[in-house]
Every structure is written in C-alpha cells, then in structure tokens.
C-alpha cells in the first residue's frame, strides 16, 4: 500500500505512520526526519535548511522533491511506503504524481488526520521528540520509551514557529485536501482521540 499522510503539524501523522510501519512493514518516508537528519549531520543540505526549518517556514519545493525522488526510487520503497510531511504544496503533489508515473507506481490513498487547531497548539507546545527515532511524548519525558534515545524540544516547537507552521499549513498545505478529493483518494480520520483509538479507525478506513 502506498499512502500519503495529510494533516496539520502535530495532528499525529508520525505516530500513525509508526504504528503502520510496526504492523505492516511499510517504508516510512518523513521529509521532516530526513531534513532533521541532514541538519544533525551538518551536511551541505542540512546547513542550507537549518534556519528555515527552525523558523517554521517551508524548505523549497525543489530541494524536497529531489530528496523524495532519491528515496522513493530505491528498491525498498517498492513494497509499500508512507509519505509523512510530503507533499506539502500543490507543486509537490503534482511532482509526486509525475514521479510515481515514471516509476510505474500509484497512490492508494491520502489519509487526512483531522485535528482542531486548539488541540494542535496544545500538543506542539508541550511535546518532546526523540533525537534518534522521532517518537513524541509529553514535555516531562527525557528518555525515549521506544528506543531510550534522548528526548528534546524541537526548535520549531516554540510559540513563534508554531504560529508560522500553522499559517503555512493553512495557506500552502490544506489545498491538498481538495487536490486528493478530486482524485477520489482522500480518506479522513478524526485525529482528536487517543493514538490507539485513532489507529483503530485508520486501519478500518484503510481496510487493513
């Protein structure tokens, strides 16, 4: 199954992706994780995107499309993948369609995790993220319950960056809901419940 995850930052896309990977072995492709990896490793790409990411703005379409093209062209993506955090603009969604055509692959669905804005702000400002595996938990958590890695507050989980990320989401990413509706690919789940409950609904909607 090839899937795109849609939803505002903090909607729980990464958490649902981790459950799906655990149970079904899909490849999880998170552009945010790939970019954070580049920043942590201090690669030329990482140096280029570090400040943009910390401010909550989007990295250029060109850079992210190249990153996804490279990852999705590898053999391990051909047994099913979950794209998390990509596409984030209509330009990226069109580039993805072209890329999948070239690779003779197709999308089975775009899963939209819908959460109210108040819940999003609350979740983002009180979350910590594992440096090693991306697991997220409440702000008092210092050791990752999944891999014992170090938990930290992402530099873009600050009030200013959260507000930029939310307006970026509304202006540039939410049009993708209509984009995938028009392709009859949109599947919507209410992401306001506890992660396990949302996951039950995700499996039901995806027929898994």
Residue 157 in the binding site for ligand AMP (CB under 6 A)? no
Q: Is 128 in the site for ligand AMP (CB under 6 A)?
A: no
Beta-carbon contacts of 180 under 8 Å, excluding residues fewer than 6 positions away, are: 4, 6, 93, 110, 112, 186
Q: Which residues contact 137 (CB under 8 A, 6 or more apart)?
A: 127, 128, 144, 145, 151
| Residue 33, helix vs strand vs coil | helix
**Given the complex with ligand AMP, which of 58 and 198 has the nearer CB atom?**
58
- Site for ligand AMP contains 165 (CB under 6 A): yes
| Residue of the chain from 5, 58, 72, 162 that contacts ligand AMP (CB under 6 A) | 58
* Nearest to ligand AMP of 9, 191 (CB atom): 9
Q: Is 86 in the site for ligand AMP (CB under 6 A)?
A: yes
The whole-angstrom separation of Cα 179 and Cα 175 is 6
| Closest of 13, 157, 18, 19 to residue 88, by C-alpha | 13
Q: Say if CB 112 and CB 3 are below 8 A apart.
A: no
- Starting at the edge strand that comes first in sequence, how are the strands of the sheet with 127-130 ordered? 136-138, 127-130, 151-152
First to last CA, the chain: 10
Half-sphere exposure of 56 (CA within 13 A, CB side): 18
**Interface with ligand AMP includes 39 (CB under 6 A)?**
no
Per CB under 6 A, does 121 bind ligand AMP?
no
Member of 32, 109, 113, 191 binding ligand AMP (CB under 6 A): 32
Of these, 20, 35, 77, 95, which contacts ligand AMP (CB under 6 A)?
Answer: 35
Does 169 participate in binding ligand AMP (rule CB under 6 A)?
no
Instruction: Given the residues 127, 131, 185, 203, select the one marked as catalytic.
Output: 127
Q: Among 82-90, 102-110, 140-148, 197-205, which window interacts with ligand AMP (CB under 6 A)? A: 82-90
191 in contact with ligand AMP (CB under 6 A): no
Residues that bind ligand AMP (CB under 6 A): 9, 31-32, 35, 52-53, 56-59, 64, 85-86, 88, 92, 156, 165
């Amino acid at each position: 199954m090839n899937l795109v995850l849609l939803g505002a930052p903090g909607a729980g896309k990464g958490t649902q992706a981790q459950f799906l990977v655990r149970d079904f072995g899909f490849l999880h492709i998170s552009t945010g994780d790939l970019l954070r990896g580049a920043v942590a490793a201090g690669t030329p790409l990482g140096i280029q995107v570090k400040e943009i990411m910390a401010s909550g703005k989007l990295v250029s379409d060109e850079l992210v499309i190249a990153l996804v093209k490279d990852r999705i062209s590898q053999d391990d993506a051909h047994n099913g993948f979950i794209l998390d955090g990509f596409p984030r603009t209509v330009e990226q969604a069109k580039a993805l369609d072209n890329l999948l055509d070239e690779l003779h692959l197709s999308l089975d669905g775009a899963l939209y995790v819908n959460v109210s804005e108040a819940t999003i702000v609350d979740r983002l400002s009180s979350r910590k993220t594992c440096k090693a595996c991306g697991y997220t938990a409440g702000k008092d958590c210092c050791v990752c319950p999944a891999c014992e890695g170090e938990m930290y507050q992402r530099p873009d989980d600050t009030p200013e960056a959260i507000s930029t990320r939310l307006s970026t989401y509304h202006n540039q990413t939410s049009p993708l809901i209509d984009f995938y509706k028009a392709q009859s690919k949109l599947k919507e789940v209410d992401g306001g419940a506890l992660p396990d409950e949302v996951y039950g609904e995700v499996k039901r909607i995806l027929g898994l």
